[in-house]
């Protein structure tokens, strides 16, 4: 259902065929004694009427039920309505409610109403029935028009049976009848129009425009979206324009579903809102799409009264989505989304359980995402599955109608949604005020925070990190890890807005915490659960102090058999050969450490050192490639390259170091290449190694 503010009632109305009745036979004159006033007329406002038919009467009403109309006896009653409660200032007669009419009556019920004194000519007769409100999920009173003919001063109509009346269930209904003035059935100037409009004369021009909007939407739904209207065999659809009651002044319009047949479903619009063109077009699309999807439904109105429709949120979501198409404005954001922007994070089962209507309003964004990814027939593919009873809920419909499952799309949808790639009305700042938990880094001891939370199926939670500790350094980093399948989204919130920093799977590193603190920036993490079941998941935040070095010295020693030589060894260093008395002031090769990747790298003139740090386990892996003169044999030009993994880090004389000794190995080293040459012609290549040592020292460049 489409609302302008928060909620809206739904209704519709219908048109019935009528025939002109025979004139009433005058009552015979009374036999009162001369000079006496005739007795006051008597009225029969209640009666039990069976197969032989009968009549109910009141001051300005007569209801005739023909013999054979009912299959058994039913207690019927007529009751006056409060003046002005149905059609406000347009009422031109007393309105009556006829109660207890069996739904499966088989012959027309003739209704005669005498208008109020002084009424103009050309009155129209209205009929109010009960239909099903898709939004409120209950039966509501809805008004329509019925053809009536004038007989003397009265108006007469035949209220005809429903198509297939003999197959309808044995239940009763209440119907209201009355006359209205200054109303018109708009002349049909468009032969192919699918809508028959009734409106107050003063709103005729706007009602014509509304009819054009509805015809445009009909074409979009049928041609662009590929929905079929085959289940409705009677056109045009009846549309009533009327002034809504005081408590519905902000409501634009609504659709209601007939309990008996799609042919009797109709629409109703608020006359006082016809000049708000954009919202009127949005409402027309929203409500008409409700009708189009009702043709694919599998639940009767009776069933929907006693049990929830599992597809209801998808129905609302898709009607929210179509509003943009209906307005013709690519950047249009439906007003009904206001207050429901974070519904997509609640959970695909929990959200509808709490309020399926509101969840649907928010998930209009997901429907738009589906259409963006898979095209305009995405919806009809799902609704064909629903109609064929191939799926039992919207998740199954999404999974079967698309190449990717709901779970596979969920995280990417959230990224696009928060990134304003779906609707521009989403306010990323709402993430700041709707966090699940907060980690405040306010002191040196605030280095670790672990949040374990229960997640609903296909839901997401928001975590915030604040930085207020004055001694945070540029080299300090924040490590974010999470359990559960799928990626999590990391955002930076500052005075300039909220931006996506990236997506993480196992770990995400944020560098330079000092800069974040100085700019009063905050970190937001949106962690989804992409599972279809509830799960307990963990998000951990760890402050990692920056490594205190920016330079490296490395040495490789390999002893073994070389081609062209019986046995030999090489020892090569970078950047220079080092004497023992140089320690601890070894010359260092400048390098750079990335806190984000935890990789230190340095290179110069064919020499390179690349080290990846596992700070949790105090290990290092990487590679060293050196080409230099041999430490012991200065006439030898050496080229050596090794890879290593899981070498242990330690501290010595103010430097961080790691070493590998094949005699007592801790970790592993693999020789990639090792050769030396004494001249430009002869090269000796390692055949097999008998001893391997690797040393790497990290420190600050002098």
pLDDT the model gives residue 653? 72
CATH for the 46-185 domain, from 3.40.190.10, 3.40.50.12780, 3.30.470.20, 2.60.220.30? 2.60.220.30
Q: How many C-beta atoms lie closer than 10 Å to residue 448's C-beta? A: 11
Q: Residue 487 pLDDT > 90, yes or no?
A: yes
> What DSSP state is assigned to residue 91?
B
Residue-wise pLDDT for 324-373, tens only, equals 999 999 999 999 999 999 999 999 999 999 999 999 999 999 999 999 99
Q: Residue 515 pLDDT > 60, yes or no?
A: yes
pLDDT the model gives residue 33? 61
Residue-wise pLDDT for 180-224, tens only, equals 999 999 876 567 899 999 999 999 999 999 999 999 999 999 999
pLDDT the model gives residue 280? 96
Query: Containing H/E element for 137?
Result: none
pLDDT the model gives residue 27? 45
Residue-wise pLDDT for 590-648, tens only, equals 898 887 788 999 998 889 999 999 877 889 999 999 998 888 888 889 999 999 999 99
* Alpha-carbon separation of residue 140 from 13, 130, 174, 485 (angstroms): 11, 5, 11, 46
Q: In this prediction, what percent of the chain has a pLDDT beyond 90?
A: 73
Beta partners for residue 506, in sequence order:
none
Q: Residue 581 pLDDT > 80, yes or no?
A: no
Query: What's the pLDDT band for 585 if we cut at 50, 70, 90?
Result: low
Superfamily of domain 195-418: Neutral Protease Domain 2 (1.10.390.10)
Query: What's the pLDDT band for 303 if we cut at 50, 70, 90?
Result: low
Residue with the larger pLDDT of the pair 220 and 21: 220
**Rounded CA separation 669/661 (Å):** 9
Mean residue pLDDT across the chain: 89
Query: What's the pLDDT band for 576 if we cut at 50, 70, 90?
Result: low
Average pLDDT for residues 52-77, to the nearest whole number? 97
pTM of the model: 0.79
Query: What's the pLDDT band for 282 if we cut at 50, 70, 90?
Result: very high
- Is 436 within 8 Å of 449 (Cβ atoms)? no
Q: In this prediction, what percent of the chain has a pLDDT beyond 70?
A: 91
Query: What's the pLDDT band for 259 if we cut at 50, 70, 90?
Result: confident
Average pLDDT for residues 121-143, to the nearest whole number? 86
Query: Containing H/E element for 407?
Result: helix 406-418
Q: How many C-beta atoms lie closer than 10 Å to residue 351's C-beta? A: 23
Q: Residue 3 pLDDT > 60, yes or no?
A: no
Q: Residue 685 pLDDT > 70, yes or no?
A: yes
Average pLDDT for residues 64-68, to the nearest whole number? 97
Residue with the larger pLDDT of the pair 30 and 665: 665
pLDDT the model gives residue 586? 62
pLDDT the model gives residue 208? 94
**Rounded CA separation 563/87 (Å):** 107
Q: Residue 87 pLDDT > 50, yes or no?
A: yes
Residue-wise pLDDT for 267-279, tens only, equals 999 999 999 999 9
Q: Residue 408 pLDDT > 60, yes or no?
A: yes
263-265-270 Cα angle (round to 5)? 145
DSSP string, 344-387: GGS-TTHHHHHHHHHHHHHHHHHHHHHHHHH-TTHHHHHHHHHH
Q: What number of H helices and E strands is found in the chain?
A: 10, 36
Q: Residue 589 pLDDT > 90, yes or no?
A: no
- Structure token digits, residue 55: 């009549």
Query: What's the pLDDT band for 151 if we cut at 50, 70, 90?
Result: very high
Architecture of domain 430-544: Sandwich (2.60)
Residue-wise pLDDT for 421-454, tens only, equals 999 999 999 999 999 999 999 999 999 999 999 9
Query: What's the pLDDT band for 18 if we cut at 50, 70, 90?
Result: very low
Angle, helices 394-401 vs 312-327, to 10°: value is 60
Q: Residue 702 pLDDT > 90, yes or no?
A: no
Query: What's the pLDDT band for 517 if we cut at 50, 70, 90?
Result: very high
Q: Is the peptide bond before 3 cis (omega within 30 degrees of 0)?
A: no
Which residue, chain included where needed, has tokens 């109020």? 116
pLDDT the model gives residue 186? 86
Query: What's the pLDDT band for 25 if we cut at 50, 70, 90?
Result: very low
**Rounded CA separation 336/5 (Å):** 7
Query: What's the pLDDT band for 474 if we cut at 50, 70, 90?
Result: confident
Among the ranges given (301-305, 414-418, 437-441), the one the predictor scored with the smallest mean pLDDT: 301-305
């Amino acid at each position: 259902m489409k609302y302008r503010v928060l909620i809206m009632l739904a209704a519709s109305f219908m048109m019935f065929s009528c025939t002109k009745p025979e004139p009433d036979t005058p009552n015979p004159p009374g036999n009162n004694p001369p000079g006496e006033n005739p007795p006051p007329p008597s009225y029969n406002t209640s009666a039990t009427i069976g197969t032989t038919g009968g009549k109910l009467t009141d001051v300005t009403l007569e209801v005739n039920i023909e013999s054979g109309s009912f299959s058994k006896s039913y207690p019927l009653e007529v009751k006056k309505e409060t003046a002005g409660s149905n059609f406000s200032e347009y009422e031109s007669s007393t309105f009556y409610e006829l109660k207890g009419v069996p739904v499966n009556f088989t012959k027309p019920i003739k209704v005669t109403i005498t208008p109020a004194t002084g009424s103009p000519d050309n009155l129209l007769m209205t009929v109010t029935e009960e239909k099903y409100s898709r939004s409120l999920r209950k039966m509501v009173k809805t008004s329509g028009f019925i053809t009536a003919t004038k007989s003397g001063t009265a108006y007469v109509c035949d209220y005809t049976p429903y198509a297939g009346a003999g197959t309808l269930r044995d239940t009763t209904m209440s119907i209201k009848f009355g006359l209205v003035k200054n109303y018109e059935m708009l002349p049909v100037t468009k032969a192919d129009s699918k809508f028959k409009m009734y409106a107050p004369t003063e709103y005729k021009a706007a009602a014509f425009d509304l009819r054009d909007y509805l015809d445009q939407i009909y074409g979009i739904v049928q041609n662009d979206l590929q929905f079929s209207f085959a289940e409705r065999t009677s056109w045009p659809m009846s549309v009533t324009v009327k002034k809504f009651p005081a408590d519905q002044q902000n409501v634009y319009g609504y659709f209601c579903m007939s309990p008996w047949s799609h042919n009797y479903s109709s629409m109703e619009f608020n006359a006082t809102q016809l000049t708000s063109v954009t919202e009127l077009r949005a409402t027309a699309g929203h409500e008409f799409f409700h009708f189009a999807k009702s043709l694919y439904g599998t639940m009767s109105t009776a069933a929907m009264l006693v049990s929830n429709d599992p597809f209801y949120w998808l129905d609302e979501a898709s009607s929210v989505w179509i509003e943009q198409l209906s307005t013709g404005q690519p950047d249009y954001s439906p007003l009904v989304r206001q207050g429901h922007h974070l519904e997509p994070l609640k959970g695909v089962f929990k959200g509808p359980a709490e309020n399926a209507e509101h969840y649907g309003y928010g998930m209009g964004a997901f429907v738009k995402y589906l259409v963006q990814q898979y095209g305009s027939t995405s919806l009809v593919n799902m609704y064909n599955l629903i109609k064929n009873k191939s799926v039992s809920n919207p998740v199954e419909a999404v999974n079967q109608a698309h190449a990717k499952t709901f779970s596979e799309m969920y995280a990417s949808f959230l990224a696009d949604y928060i990134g304003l790639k779906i609707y521009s009305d989403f306010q990323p700042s709402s993430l700041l005020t709707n966090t699940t938990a907060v980690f405040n880094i306010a002191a040196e001891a605030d280095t670790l925070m672990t949040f374990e939370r229960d997640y609903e199926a296909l839901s997401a939670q928001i975590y915030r990190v604040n930085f207020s500790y004055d001694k945070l350094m540029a080299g300090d980093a924040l490590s974010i890890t999470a359990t559960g399948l799928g990626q999590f989204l990391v955002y930076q919130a500052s005075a300039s807005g909220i931006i996506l920093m990236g997506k993480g799977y196992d770990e995400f590193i944020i560098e330079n915490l000092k800069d974040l603190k100085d700019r009063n920036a905050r970190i937001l993490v949106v962690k989804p659960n992409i599972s279809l079941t509830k799960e307990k998941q963990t998000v951990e935040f760890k402050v990692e102090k920056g490594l205190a070095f920016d330079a490296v010295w490395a040495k490789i020693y390999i002893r073994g058999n070389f081609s062209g030589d019986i046995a030999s060894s090489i020892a090569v260093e970078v950047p220079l050969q080092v004497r023992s008395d140089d320690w601890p002031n070894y010359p260092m090769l400048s390098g750079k450490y990335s806190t984000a990747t935890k990789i230190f790298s340095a290179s110069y003139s064919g020499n390179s050192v690349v080290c990846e740090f596992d700070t949790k386990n105090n290990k290092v892996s990487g590679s060293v490639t050196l080409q230099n003169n041999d430490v012991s044999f200065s006439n030898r030009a050496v080229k050596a390259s090794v890879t290593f993994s899981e070498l242990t880090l330690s501290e010595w004389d103010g430097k961080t170091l790691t070493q590998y000794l094949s005699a007592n190995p801790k970790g592993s080293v693999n020789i990639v290449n090792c050769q030396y040459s004494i001249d430009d012609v002869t090269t000796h290549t390692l055949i097999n190694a008998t001893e391997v040592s690797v040393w790497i020292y990290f420190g600050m460049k002098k």
